[in-house]
Amino acid sequence: MLNPVMIVDDEASIRDAVQQWLSLSGYQVQVHGRAEDCLAELEHGISDYAGVIISDVRMPGMGGLGLLTRLQALDADLPVILLTGHGDVPMAVEAMRDGAYDFLEKPFSPEALLGSIRRAMEKRRLVIDNRRLRGEFEAKGQMEGRLLGFSPGMRELRKHVLALAGLPVNVLIRGETGSGKELVARCLHDFGPRAGKPFVALNCAAIPEQLFEAELFGHEAGAFTGAQGKRIGKLEYADGGTLFLDEVESMPLAQQVKLLRVLQEQKLERLGSNQSIAVDLRIIAATKPDLLEEAKAGRFREDLAYRLNVAELQLPALRERREDIPLLFEYFARTSAERAGRSATPLNAALLGQLLGHDWPGNVRELANAAERHGLGLGSRVTTPPAGQSLTAQQEAFEAQCLRSALTRHRGDIKAVLEELQLPRRTLNEKMQRHRLQREDFLGS
């Protein structure tokens, strides 16, 4: 709703007159004859209300001052303009000290009211914009703590995840085994409007075909041999939230047809029942192969592929973002050591060379396993660099890690980094630019 204004006055003639003036001036107006009704409407979601409240001071039941107090407790930045009689002016002045935005003495001119509303609306817009920007900044920081990495690929991934998290669309995540598809799916859920609802994960490759329908749709008692009681399926359990379908390419074709129907109609039927159950959910699917290629080969329904792939996220393999390997290894090693009440052994040059030279076919999952073993003092089981990993490439990766570690230790303080690494400022700038390191990413790290 654009330019919303809420009028609270027990006199119908005043409500109607003010509503007419404001409607003609382009405002979206709501009217209430009781303060309690206004409060009930604003109690939920008041922080996002982008408008202004206009309230009479004297009304039966809760008056304008009582309404002001209650609204201030919910949102101290919500502008409230009070309408007063002549004898209420001292009271209104005191109310402004307590947080009222303005007061107008009756009778007032339309111009005076509109001027006050315009100023209040500008203030409210600034508050809403600042809250939105602060929320985006906080979400960005939280996302960086979940999807770790300095590489360009991870920067882009975090940006796309944040953008998609708030959109009501199904998302297809593509990536190799172990690249973090479920973590990305979880972030899409946790940073979106469905965060307070269930996140339900189902690995389509791990369920026998004969049990798949019951697992997805649920069943009634006696629906088949062994179905002794009613069971809620994954689709129904995820109502209001998100269903994550991992390895979706493994879903049996018969169940693909039924899932497509659920997506189209937003309804399902349990096995053994003819009753339709409404569901509201978001589907996030993950796959290694291209679903459209699978469809061409007859292994996946093309219409379902398009339904699932409204938006697509491509996850980089770990070998494509080698600059993130030391950060991830140290994080997993430290976490593993702390769980065991130990201190993680620092990453030395020899081990770093092995980490950067390994191809990591199991991606982050394989790296996490190696790091956890290292954190527990069991060795990392990392092989030596394979042939083809040139000395120059290994030196470049080691140099980037040294710079990144120094920037992290000194929280982006360039002067301290220069002193520790004993580099001229110009040389440091050139190396940071070559390795795509930005000081801003390390402030407060």
pLDDT digits (tens, 9 = 90+) for 208-227: 888 888 889 987 876 666 66
Dihedral sign from CA coordinates of 22, 23, 28, 33: positive
pLDDT score at 303: 94
CA atoms within 13 A on the CB side of 182: 12
Q: What is the mean pLDDT of residues 106-128?
A: 91
Structure token pair of residue 144: 């960086």
Question: Is the backbone of residue 341 left (phi > 0), alpha (psi -120 to 50) or beta?
Answer: left
**CA-angle at 185, arms to 182 and 189, nearest 5°:** 135
Across 131-145, 215-229, 295-309, 314-328, least confident range: 215-229
pLDDT score at 445: 55
Domain 4-131 has CATH 3.30.70.20: no
pLDDT score at 387: 45
- Work out the mean pLDDT of the chain and round it to a whole number: 88
Dihedral sign from CA coordinates of 231, 235, 240, 246: positive
Q: What is the mean pLDDT of residues 305-332?
A: 93
Across 59-68, 88-97, 174-183, 359-368, least confident range: 88-97
Q: Which positions ≥6 away from 218 have C-beta within 8 Å?
A: 230, 231, 232, 233, 235, 236, 270, 271
pLDDT score at 174: 96
pLDDT score at 123: 92
Across 17-31, 129-143, 275-289, 318-332, least confident range: 129-143
Identity of the residue numbered 277: I
Q: What is the mean pLDDT of residues 114-140?
A: 86
Superfamily of domain 147-316: P-loop containing nucleotide triphosphate hydrolases (3.40.50.300)
Structure token pair of residue 127: 């508050």
> Does the structure show a pLDDT above 70 at 1?
no
Across 18-22, 156-160, 168-172, 409-413, least confident range: 409-413
Q: Which candidate, 375, 445, 441, 444, places its Cα nearest to that of 151?
A: 441
pLDDT score at 9: 93
Report percent pLDDT > 90 for the chain: 51
pLDDT score at 389: 56
Where are the chain's structural domains? 4-131, 147-316, 319-442
Question: Is the previous residue joined to 90 through a cis bond, with omega within 30 degrees of 0?
Answer: no
Structure token pair of residue 272: 């053994």
Beta strand pairing call for 4-8 and 28-32: parallel
Q: CA 250, 256, 262, 264: dihedral to nearest 10 degrees?
A: 120
> Does the structure show a pLDDT above 80 at 369?
yes
DSSP state of 385: P
Q: Are 371 and 183 in contact (CB under 8 A)?
A: no
Of 405 and 417, more confident = 417
Q: Are 242 and 282 in contact (CB under 8 A)?
A: yes
The structure tokens 């290629």 sit at 293
Q: Which positions ≥6 away from 311 have C-beta within 8 Å?
A: 164, 167, 169, 170, 171, 172
Q: What is the mean pLDDT of residues 387-408?
A: 73
> How many angstroms separate the CA atoms of 335 and 86, rounded?
68
Report percent pLDDT > 70 for the chain: 94
Q: Is 369 exposed, middle or buried (0-12, 13-18, 19+ CB in 10 A)?
A: middle
Q: Do domains 4-131 and 147-316 have the same CATH topology?
A: yes
Q: Are 324 and 148 in contact (CB under 8 A)?
A: yes
Identity of the residue numbered 156: E
pLDDT score at 270: 87
pLDDT score at 408: 80
Q: What is the mean pLDDT of residues 113-120?
A: 93
pLDDT score at 283: 96
Give the pLDDT band (50/70/90) at residue 351: confident
> How many angstroms separate the CA atoms of 360 and 362, rounded?
5
Q: Are 362 and 177 in contact (CB under 8 A)?
A: yes
> Does the structure show a pLDDT above 80 at 136?
no
